[in-house]
Amino acid sequence: MTAATEPVATPDAGRRIRWADLAPFIALGVIVFLGILINSNFASSANIINVITRSAFIAIIAVGATFVISSGGLDLSVGSMMAFVTGLMIMTMNGLAPTYGNWAIVMGAGVALVVGGLCGLFNGLIITLGRIEPFIVTLGTMGIFRAFITFMSDGGSLPIDRSLRAAYRPVYFGDFMGIPYPVLITLGVILLGAFLLYRTKYGRHLTSLGSNAEVARFSGVNVSRVRTLAYVIQGLCVAVAAICYVPRLGAATPTTGQLWELQVITAVVIGGTLLRGGRGRIWGSVAGALILEVIANVMVLSDMVSEYLVAAVQGAIIIIAMLAHRFTSSR
């Protein structure tokens, strides 16, 4: 109070380091270090590349979720949406393959992006126009999308046409100068996301909306549009993840993407994004996704803990991260 009356202005103290922002990266480093101690195979380049590639899907979706969560929202439907988009994409590809050959893959990918964007738009419009809690809306669409993929696959598997496999396979298994394509795609999504969130007016409007929606409204921000767009971005990210995912397993099933929403939210939150909105950390979300995958990998490589407990450890991580955050922020 009294201090505020001293007219001293330190220029550009805006660049001071906040240790809390580095926490997810430090945690990732510690876990990697422990991994190396436990099993020397962990540090092999083949294993490292494998882990990073496997984390690509969660990382890509988590970039979108960072937008939604920074805006003060939540999207529980991402796992089901991913399965639904995958299913529609495979059906499109299979349908077009006889006529267009390998071009069907490109068309299918285009359809996936459109469908993902529309799914997000659907979520966003119901939330903003209907003024319903995002939790409820996306809980509903989570069920709807899951039922659709079960219906489309008739409860079984919806495989991609054999003729397309060879051409599509490199999207997941191929690499460019040793770096797998999914990793490059993830990097592209991250850079695009970081640009959008940190460097554009839209990103600033989004965080202001998450910080205090009334302030944003009184400042002339089109709150509904900004909020709806966050869900569209989330939908597009889901579609990109689906495009990378199909060549890995070659089919969509009723369990595709199941419980991914939990992993995504965990990754975003341990990455430093505030669940109540107002602060988004794109790179943190990616670190979060890597932490989850590295832990699973270390558990598989070690014999100490059963790999069936991976989900339990991941669940514990989010609680520990929040406790650590509470502990450090209240000093």
Partner 1 sequence: MRQASEIESVPAGNAPTLCAKGLSKVYGAITVLSDVTLDIHAGQVHAIIGENGAGKSTLMKLLSGHVTPTAGGLQMEGQAVAFADAVEAENAGVVLVHQEILLAPDLTVAQNIFLGREIRRGFMVDDRAMNRRAAELLARVGATARPHDLVGDLPLAQRQLVQIARALLDERKVVIFDEPTAMLANEEVAALLEIIRGLREHGVAVLYISHRLDEVQAIADRITVLRDGRMIGSWPAAELSQRQMAELMVGRQLDMLYPDKREVQTQAPLLLVTDLEVDQGAQKASFFVRPGEVLGLGGMIGSGRTELIEGLMGLRPSQAASVVVNGAEVTRRSVASLMAAGLVYLTEDRKGKGLLLDERLAPNLTLQALASLNPGLLLDRRSEMDCLRKAVAEYDIRVRSLALEAGKLSGGNQQKLLLAKVMMTNPSVVIIDEPTRGIDIGNKSQIYDFIDAMVRAGKACIVISSEMQELVGLADRVLVMRAGRVVAELSGDEINEENIVYAATSNAHGGTGEDSHDRSDGARRDA
Pick between residue 205 and residue 227 the one whose CB is nearest to partner 1.
205
221 counts as binding partner 1 under rule CB under 8 A: yes
- CA 84, CA 79: separation in Å to the nearest integer? 9
Instruction: Determine if 177 is a binding residue for partner 1 (CB under 8 A).
Output: no
- In the complex, the smallest distance separating the C-beta of residue 69 from partner 1, rounded to whole angstroms, is 15
What is the smallest separation between the CB atom of 207 and partner 1, expressed in angstroms?
8
Amino acid letter, 195? F
Q: Which phi-psi region, left, alpha or beta, contains residue 12 (left: φ > 0; alpha: ψ -120 to 50)?
A: left
Among 39, 157, 163, 211, binds partner 1 (CB under 8 A): 211
Is residue 281 within 8 A of residue 273, CB to CB? The reply is: yes
Residue type, 117: G
Among 39, 163, 212, 255, binds partner 1 (CB under 8 A): 212
Look up residue 15 and give its two tokens: 């660049």
Which of 315, 325, 225 is CA-nearest to residue 279?
A: 325
CB 213 → partner 1: shortest distance, Å?
A: 10
Q: Which of 166, 220, 326, 327 binds partner 1 (CB under 8 A)?
A: 220
β-bridge mates for residue 175, sequence order: 180
How many other C-beta atoms lie within 10 A of the C-beta of residue 177? 5
Segment near partner 1 (CB under 8 A); pick from 8-16, 55-63, 92-100, 106-114: 8-16
CA 287 to chain CA centroid, Å, is 11
Of 11-40, binders to partner 1 (CB under 8 A) are: 11-14, 16
Of residues 41, 44, 102, 222, which one binds partner 1 by CB under 8 A?
222
Site membership for partner 1, residue 208 (CB under 8 A): yes
Count of residues in contact with partner 1, rule CB under 8 A:
37
Which residue of 23, 115, 216, 291 would you call a contact of partner 1, by CB under 8 A? 216
Residue placing its CB nearer to partner 1 in the complex, 123 or 128: 128
- Between 200 and 306, name the residue whose CB sits nearer to partner 1: 200
Beta bridge partners of residue 180, listed in sequence order: 175
Task: State in angstroms the smallest separation of the CB of 9 from partner 1.
Answer: 5
From 114-122, 173-181, 198-206, 308-316, give the range in contact with partner 1 by CB under 8 A.
Answer: 198-206
Distance CA 137, CA 206 (A): 20
> How far, in Å, CA of 284 to CA of 22, rounded?
8
Residue 278 is a binding residue for partner 1 (CB under 8 A): yes
Assess 218 for contact with partner 1 (CB under 8 A): yes
Q: How many CB atoms lie within 10 A of CB 131?
A: 8
Q: What does the alpha-carbon distance between residue 206 and residue 189 come to, in Å, rounded to a whole number?
A: 18
d(CA 84, CA 45): 34
Closest CB to partner 1 among 28 and 236?
Answer: 236
Least spacing, CB of residue 220 vs partner 1, in Å: 4
Q: According to CB under 8 A, which one of 106, 129, 215, 275 is a site residue for partner 1?
A: 215
Buried/exposed 91-127: b ≥16 CB within 10 Å, e otherwise = bbbbebbeeeeeebbebbbebbbebbbebbebbbbbb
What are the structure tokens assigned to 112, written together? 């996936």
Instruction: Pick the closer one to partner 1 by CB: 14 or 178.
Output: 14
**Min CB(219)–partner 1 separation in Å:** 4
Which residues of this protein are in contact with partner 1, per CB under 8 A? 1-14, 16, 198-201, 203-205, 207-208, 211-212, 214-222, 278-279
